[in-house]
A and B are shown apart, each in its own frame.
Chain A
Amino acid sequence: MDHSSTTPVDAAVTEAMLPYFSEKFGNPSSLYTIGREARRSMEEARANVADLIGAKKEEIIFTGSGTESDNLAIKGLAYRNRKNGDHIITSSIEHHAVLYTCKYLETQGFKVTYLPVSKEGVVNPTEVEAAITSKTTLISIMHANPEIGTIQPVEEIGKIAKEKNIPFHTDAIPTAGKIPISVDAMGVSLLSLSAHKMYGPKGVGALYIRKGTGLTPLLHGGGHERDIRSGTENVPGIVGFGKAAQLAKERLPEAAKITKLRDSLIKGLLEIKDSYLNGHPEKRLPDNVNIRFSYIEGESMILNLDMKGVAASTGSACSSKSLEPSHVLIATGLKHEEAHGSLRFTLGRANTQDEVDYVITVLPEIVNKLRMMSPLAR
């Protein structure tokens, strides 16, 4: 139950991709038959990805990852509009692909405002508006946070951005295929996507670029992807992404079933003494459960769950390479020791009520065992 880390490639996606490794290996830039065939398939994929977010096909650029999409959106726009200003507004709970890109831009002389969030992890649109200066050239606020599941008021932020005529980027990697996305309703100029979070392959992302939004490329070369992202296209990956996007759109109604599992898991786990929900109770991704348990540490919960055959993740520092607790949990006002005790489950389409019930049965024993061992529990 750790589908936010990544998802398995859907069998239909693999099947769609396979021919493009061997018999249909053409380079989309070649003019002869197999090249044209590759180009046609790629354009079909582009249309499918565009369709998932209510965009036009010409507004989609394929990249090598969601991280690249975020980098291209932020650096690309910041550099392109540098003559107009040097100020960027973002939030303190963005993915590192956004946060560290902003941190890098600060070393290049840009100024960045990192907005705080409420204890449920919500960015306040009024604070976005208040942060805008005459030098602001970009607002980047994620569609939802993948760790605590909180969905952001992007439509309201989009409205403000539009009124002030400032490009608005949103990282929709955690939401695409889970909740409906409409670039027009959200009022975004730029939107990042990644295939592997929606049952597509790893190594391919996309960036929606609204017509009229200019970007400075990160990669210079042969002028692929309308001269915004040079590099021979990853045709099998793109074809797989297109198929995954098509399936994701068809399967959006499944969110109702996953939401039910989510609520059942939250309810069951909150029955454990001294446990609390992280994130917002309603404005929440359909698949996200994030609960903190007092007096114990996340990695030891995960290892115990793993022994019981359950995969989960934690915001604890002890499970990260940096030994720093999750910046998202800290931004919601949790103390370090509270962040350490947080456990995240992200449900996928294959999860069942039986599996949810199993977790609700085994976790209390694990929490108990660890609390017996903990000097913090009294």
Chain B
Amino acid sequence: MTDGYSEKVMEHFANPRNVGEIKDADGIGKVGNPVCGDLMWIYIKVKDNRLEDVKFKTFGCGAAIATSSMITEMAKGKTLEEALEITRKDVAEALDGLPPVKMHCSNLAADGLHAAIKDYHERSGKK
């Protein structure tokens, strides 16, 4: 529980950034599974190939919420190519580390962002 969570994780958990959905999102990434205790939806708004806005909704533990919050901050303003390069390791490091058993939560946040970008590409391809 709290032992093992860095101050930064607790700070993001207590005051998560960018919570909510984007009504007219350009892409949505849905990852995780409530059976495992983690479900993460990442919404993105894209303008000129850049992430103009990123928001999340998450069901999960402290690490799941903190990594969701962190990835929205990391991704905002980046180009789509730059955003695709954000890895689970980057998310965990930005939070000053995660307890080993929680590493899959950080995996989920990066996956969620990448899934949202993929969704954006699929949608724009159809247009």
Contact B101 A321 (CB under 8 A): yes
Contact B16 A373 (CB under 8 A): yes
Which of A303, A325, A373 is B37 in contact with, Cβ under 8 Å? A325
CB distance from B27 to the nearest CB of A (A): 15
Contact A319 B1 (CB under 8 A): yes
Contact with A along B61-80 (1 / 0, CB 8 A): 11111000000000000000
CB distance from A359 to the nearest CB of B (A): 18
When distances are taken between beta carbons in the complex, the residues of chain B under 8 Å from A372 are: 19-20
Contact A323 B101 (CB under 8 A): yes
Q: Does A74 contact B (CB under 8 A)?
A: no
CB distance from A320 to the nearest CB of B (A): 9
Q: What is the CA–CA distance of A376 and B34 in the complex, to the nearest angstrom? A: 9
Contact B34 A300 (CB under 8 A): no
Given A340-B37, A373-B65, A376-B39 in contact, is the A307-B1 Cβ separation under 8 Å? no
Q: Does A299 contact B (CB under 8 A)?
A: yes
Q: Does B50 contact A (CB under 8 A)?
A: no
When distances are taken between beta carbons in the complex, the residues of chain B under 8 Å from A340 are: 34, 37
When distances are taken between beta carbons in the complex, the residues of chain A under 8 Å from B57 are: 373-375
Q: What is the CA–CA distance of A295 and B60 in the complex, to the nearest angstrom? A: 9
Q: Does B41 contact A (CB under 8 A)?
A: yes
Q: What is the CA–CA distance of A306 and B5 in the complex, to the nearest angstrom? A: 13
Q: What is the CA–CA distance of A226 and B15 in the complex, to the nearest angstrom? A: 59
Given A319-B61, A323-B101, A376-B59 in contact, is the A299-B35 Cβ separation under 8 Å? no
CB distance from A231 to the nearest CB of B (A): 32
Q: What is the CA–CA distance of A318 and B5 in the complex, to the nearest angstrom? A: 13
Contact with A along B95-119 (1 / 0, CB 8 A): 0000001000000000000000000
Q: What is the CA–CA distance of A217 and B5 in the complex, to the nearest angstrom? A: 42
When distances are taken between beta carbons in the complex, the residues of chain B under 8 Å from A299 are: 1, 61-62
Q: What is the CA–CA distance of A297 and B40 in the complex, to the nearest angstrom? A: 13
Contact B39 A375 (CB under 8 A): yes
CB distance from B54 to the nearest CB of A (A): 15
When distances are taken between beta carbons in the complex, the residues of chain A under 8 Å from B63 are: 318
Contact with A along B3-22 (1 / 0, CB 8 A): 00100001001101001100
Given A323-B101, A373-B16, A375-B57 in contact, is the A302-B39 Cβ separation under 8 Å? no
Which of B10, B19, B59, B101 is A295 in contact with, Cβ under 8 Å? B59
Q: What is the CA–CA distance of A348 and B35 in the complex, to the nearest angstrom? A: 33
Number of interface residues of A (CB under 8 A): 25
Which of B19, B20, B35, B61 is A300 in contact with, Cβ under 8 Å? B61
Which of B19, B34, B64 is A337 in contact with, Cβ under 8 Å? B34
Contact B1 A297 (CB under 8 A): no
Q: Does A296 contact B (CB under 8 A)?
A: yes
Q: What is the CA–CA distance of A302 and B2 in the complex, to the nearest angstrom? A: 9
CB distance from B36 to the nearest CB of A (A): 7
Which of A295, A303, A337 is B62 in contact with, Cβ under 8 Å? A303
Contact with A along B34-48 (1 / 0, CB 8 A): 111111110000000
Contact A336 B36 (CB under 8 A): yes
Contact A317 B1 (CB under 8 A): no
Give the nearest-CB partner of A316 in chain B.
Answer: B37
Q: What is the CA–CA distance of A321 and B99 in the complex, to the nearest angstrom? A: 10
Give the nearest-CB partner of A372 in chain B.
Answer: B19
When distances are taken between beta carbons in the complex, the residues of chain A under 8 Å from B58 are: 373-375
Q: What is the CA–CA distance of A335 and B59 in the complex, to the nearest angstrom? A: 15
Contact B35 A337 (CB under 8 A): yes
CB distance from B105 to the nearest CB of A (A): 8
Contact A300 B39 (CB under 8 A): no
CB distance from B47 to the nearest CB of A (A): 24
Q: List 6 A-B contacts (CB under 8 A).
A: A303-B62, A306-B1, A316-B37, A318-B37, A335-B35, A375-B41
Interface residues of A (CB under 8 A from B): 295-297, 299-300, 302-303, 306-307, 316-319, 321, 323, 325, 335-337, 340, 372-376
By Cβ-Cβ distance, the 6 closest A-B pairs, closest first, are: A318-B61, A337-B34, A299-B61, A375-B57, A336-B35, A374-B59
Known: A297-B64, A303-B62, A374-B39. 10 other contacts (CB 8 A): A297-B59, A299-B1, A299-B61, A307-B14, A318-B61, A336-B36, A340-B34, A372-B19, A373-B65, A375-B39
